[in-house]
Amino acid sequence: MNIDSTMENFCIQSGVPPGSLRLLPIRSGRNSAVFKVSSEGGNWILKHYYQHDADKRNRLASEYQFLTFLNQAGCRSVAKPITCDNRKQFALHSFLNGGRPSIITDMHIDQSAQFIILLHHLSDHPNAQAIENAADSCFDLEQHACIVDARFKEFDKVQTDCVESIEFLNWVKNVLKPAWKKIRSYIFSPQVNPTTQQLILSPSDFGFHNTLEYEGRLSFIDFEYSGWDSIAKLACDFICQPELPVTEAQALQFLTKLAQETNSLSLIDQVNILLPLHRIKWCCILLNVFRDVDRQRRIHSGSSSSDILSEQLYKTKIYFETNFQNL
């Protein structure tokens, strides 16, 4: 099958004018192959989602449902879903102008908080109940810990088939796992009082790496893992995300606004307890390339390189040392 002609046919069947039709790869994601579609009629985004037998989540369905819901609710800071093909794993979205912000400002923090506050309000919408849980959703303290435990179990399956894998497994065994044991022990100690997890419609993987800025306004992209989740987990991921990190002051600004507007009085305390846990989780996420399913997904999206293993291990060590200096 010629994938280019298949994509072109899908675009034309979806209503894209065939005249001067062009597909330009955009290597902005790690899970899907993304293309800018251009023709005489304008621009669109085409996504080709990756499927693997070991990963059962239907990213296309999750994202398409979430975008449809937001558009029907009047949200204009996300793309409009146009059509999709579940068998081919293609989806066509409207095109959003802009690029990733290079410097995160207080204005960006406010716009991000306002988007989450909108999702909080939309959680009471009648159609919201049809949306499924987010990937790795957490509804109590035990579930937060379980998602980290599960990632370490996946690392136990990694084969020592190269120098990088051996170094990775040694570092996980001697540094990352001991740190996690200390954090886990504290979280479940008598001095920590677990509070009820407030749920929200979550984009998941929420951070500035999944935003576009155009004329001072942010648009939000990538909802492949979206669904119902804990607002505390969403906030932790926003703060932990390593690609375009926020400062401590910006994290507090984001949390304070969310706590006030969502009436989640315990949110800041919950995040302070859970943040080290999710930083360990993000170390594991950075190391996902050592798992075959993740490496294959990156190759599909066009974001892999021959040095990806050593690059990601180096990034993870820096991330760990930056955030766990006193552990």
- Cα separation, 8 vs 12, whole angstroms: 6
User: Using an 8 Å Cβ cutoff, are 244 and 51 in contact?
Assistant: no
Helix, strand or coil for residue 198?
coil
311/250 same-domain check? yes
Q: What distances in angstroms separate CA 233 from CA 36, 47, 133, 250, 279, one per listed residue?
A: 32, 27, 13, 17, 11
75/213 same-domain check? no
Higher pLDDT, 157 or 295: 157
The answer to whether residue 286 sits within a structural domain is yes
User: Using an 8 Å Cβ cutoff, are 82 and 94 in contact?
Assistant: yes
90/113 same-domain check? no
pLDDT band at 303 (very low <50, low <70, confident <90, very high): low
Q: Which two tokens stand for residue 116?
A: 């989450």
19/144 same-domain check? no
- Cα separation, 316 vs 320, whole angstroms: 6
The answer to whether residue 293 sits within a structural domain is yes
Last residue of a domain, one of 94, 125, 150: 94
116/197 same-domain check? yes
- How many helices (DSSP H) and strands (DSSP E) are in the chain? 11, 9
- Cα separation, 88 vs 28, whole angstroms: 21
Helix, strand or coil for residue 84?
strand
- Cα separation, 204 vs 55, whole angstroms: 17
User: Is 295 a residue whose pLDDT tops 80?
Assistant: no
| pLDDT recorded at residue 54 | 64
85/229 same-domain check? no
- Cα separation, 4 vs 117, whole angstroms: 40
E-assigned strand segments in 135-233: 199-202, 211-214, 217-220, 227-230
192/312 same-domain check? yes
CB atoms within 10 A of CB 296: 15
Query: CATH number of the domain that 264 lies in?
Result: 3.90.1200.10
195/140 same-domain check? yes
Sign of CA dihedral 82, 87, 89, 90: negative
Q: Residue 180 is part of which domain span? A: 106-323
- Cα separation, 146 vs 152, whole angstroms: 10
| pLDDT recorded at residue 52 | 67
E-assigned strand segments in 208-290: 211-214, 217-220, 227-230
Q: Which of 48-62, 144-158, 312-326 has the lowest mean pLDDT?
A: 48-62
- Cα separation, 192 vs 274, whole angstroms: 11
User: Is 27 a residue whose pLDDT tops 80?
Assistant: no
Residue 90: strand pairing partners: 48, 85
The answer to whether the predicted template modeling score (pTM) of the entire model surpasses 0.95 is no
Domains contained in the chain, number: 2
- Cα separation, 224 vs 60, whole angstroms: 7
pLDDT band at 39 (very low <50, low <70, confident <90, very high): very high
DSSP label of 134 = P
Query: CATH number of the domain that 64 lies in?
Result: 3.30.200.20
| pLDDT recorded at residue 1 | 43
What rounded mean pLDDT belongs to the chain? 91
122/81 same-domain check? no
The answer to whether residue 99 sits within a structural domain is no
What are the pLDDT digits (tens) for 244-259?
999 999 999 999 999 9
Last residue of a domain, one of 34, 66, 94: 94
Last residue of a domain, one of 48, 74, 94: 94
113/187 same-domain check? yes
310/167 same-domain check? yes
